[in-house]
Amino acid sequence: MDLKAEYAERLTNGPTAVALIESHSTVALGQAAGQPPQLMRCLADRAAAGGLSDVRLYYFHSEQPMADTLLRYELMDDLHPYSFFLQAPERKLIDQGAADGHRKVVNFVPSSFGQSVRTFRDAIPVDTFLVQVSPMDTHGYFSFGTNNDYTSAVARMAKRLIVEVNPNMPRVYGADPLHLREVDAIIEHTSDLPSLAPRPVRPNEQSIGSAVAALVPDGATLQIGVGGLPNAVCAALRDRNDLGIHTEALGPGLADLIDRGNATGNRKNIDKDRAVFTFAMGDNDFYGWMHENQAIMSAPVDYVNDPAVIARNDRVVSINSTIEMDLTGAANSEHLNGHQFSASGGQLDFIRGAAASKGGLSIIAFPSTVRSGTISKIVPRLSGPVTTPRNDVHYVVTEHGTANLRGLSSSDRARALIALAAPEHRSELEEAAREQHLV
C-alpha cells in the first residue's frame, strides 16, 4: 500500500476522531501552538452534549484556542484539567471556581519542564494524545513544528495518537519526526497558529537588556525566553560575534540574531552551526521564517533541558526572570498573591547547566518594581516556593545595576540586592535585613 492510500485510510473528520476517546480516560495534548484547535473543539462539543465524563486533560501552556474550547467553566464537571504550567485560562477557571463555593476545577502538576517526559513515562499513563502537526512530506513524515518538547515522546507513549494537519504549521528539522504509520487517526484543518504579538520594549527593560548583554561574550551559547525583556537583550547583542543558541524557547529576538549573522553557532561543541530549541512562539512572520529553515533544530525537552547536555557547550549564558527575589538571592518565579501563577519551567535546568559549562554563567534579570513602582520585587522573604535556590543564583540584574552573588556572604548578598532595589524601597529592605540578622 502506498503512502497516499495509507494516509487516506487514516483520514477522518473531527467528530469521528474524538469519538475514539472514552469516558474515564486520560487525554494529553501538545502545548501552545501544538494544541489542535479543531480536535479540541470537537472534544468540547462532545462533552457539552453529554457524550463524555471524567476525562483528565494533561498539558503545558494553554493558549486561546484551548481556552475557547476545552477550558470552558461549564465543562468542568466532565473535563478535568491537569496543567503543568498555569496560564491566563487556568487562572480564570480558578477564579470562577473560587466564586462558585470554592470549587476545585484546575489541578496543578508540579514538574520541571526538563523532567516532564519522565513524569509522563513513570506516572501518567496516557490513553489518547492530541496534537497539531505540519503536512506530511513525500516520505510519510510529519513535523511537530513549533513544539518538540514533551510532545514527540508522549505522542509515542499514548495508546492512541490523533493528529490535526495544519498547513500553517511550519516543517521544522530536528529530532524525532513523526511517521504516518505511528498515527491512528488524522484530521485536516487550516487555522492560524496562536500568535505572540510583539510589544514595545519599556525603558526599564531597555536598560536591563543592555546590562545583561554586557555580560555576554563573543562565542557564548544563549538560553533566553520570549517577550519584551528577552527582545531587549537580543537587540543589545547585535554587535556580538559567533553566538550559539541552545534554548528552551525560540522566539523572534533570537531569530533576528540568526538572520543578522550574530548567532552562527560555529563555536558550539555540540549541534554545531544549529540553533537548538524545544518549543517556539512568535507571530506569523516568525512561523514562516521557521519553515524548512536549516539554521534551526528542534529536539525533545529531556535533551534540550538536560543540565549535562547544556554543559557540553562552553560559555553557556542562561538568561531568565523571576517574580520576586529575597535578600539572600532565592528566587520565586511561579507563585503570586498566594497562589500558583505559572510553573518552574526550565529555569533551574539551565541555571545548573550554565554553572557546569566551561566559562558559563547565569543571569536572573527583572524590573525592580511592579504596579507603577509601588511593589518591590526584591523582598525580605519569598511569598511562594523557591524556584531557584540561593545556592544556584549567579548574576542578578535590575535597572539599578548588576550584582554577582557567587561567593558572597548572606550579609553581602543582602547589601548587594538592596542596592538593586528601587530607591524608595531600600529603607524598608534595610530594616528587614537587620531584623533577619543579615546585616
* Residues designated catalytic: 248
Distance of alpha carbon 20 from the chain centroid = 30
| Cα 135 from Cα 132, distance rounded (Å) | 10
Closest residue by Cα to residue 27 from 37, 14, 40, 10: 40
Q: In what order do the strands lie in the sheet with 395-398?
A: 296-298, 275-280, 244-250, 221-223, 316-320, 361-365, 395-398, 401-404
Dihedral angle of Cα 61, 65, 67, 73, to the nearest 10 degrees: -140
| Cα 73 from Cα 369, distance rounded (Å) | 34
| Cα 369 from Cα 422, distance rounded (Å) | 7
H/E segment holding residue 279: strand 275-280
Dihedral angle of Cα 293, 201, 205, 224, to the nearest 10 degrees: -10
Are β-strands 324-326 and 331-332 bridged in parallel, bridged antiparallel, or unpaired?
antiparallel
| Cα 30 from Cα 33, distance rounded (Å) | 8
Amino acid identity, position 401:
G
Q: Burial-class residue 22 by CB neighbours within 10 Å (0-12, 13-18, 19+).
A: middle
Answer yes or no: are the C-beta atoms of 139 and 181 closer than 8 Å.
no
| Cα 121 from Cα 113, distance rounded (Å) | 14
Answer yes or no: are the C-beta atoms of 377 and 370 closer than 8 Å.
yes
Q: CA angle 174-179-184, nearest 5°?
A: 135
Q: CA 319 → CA 25, 87, 393, distances in Å?
A: 39, 21, 11
| Cα 170 from Cα 395, distance rounded (Å) | 36
Closest residue by Cα to residue 252 from 220, 216, 287: 287
Answer yes or no: are the C-beta atoms of 172 and 290 closer than 8 Å.
yes
Q: What SS3 class is residue 9?
A: helix
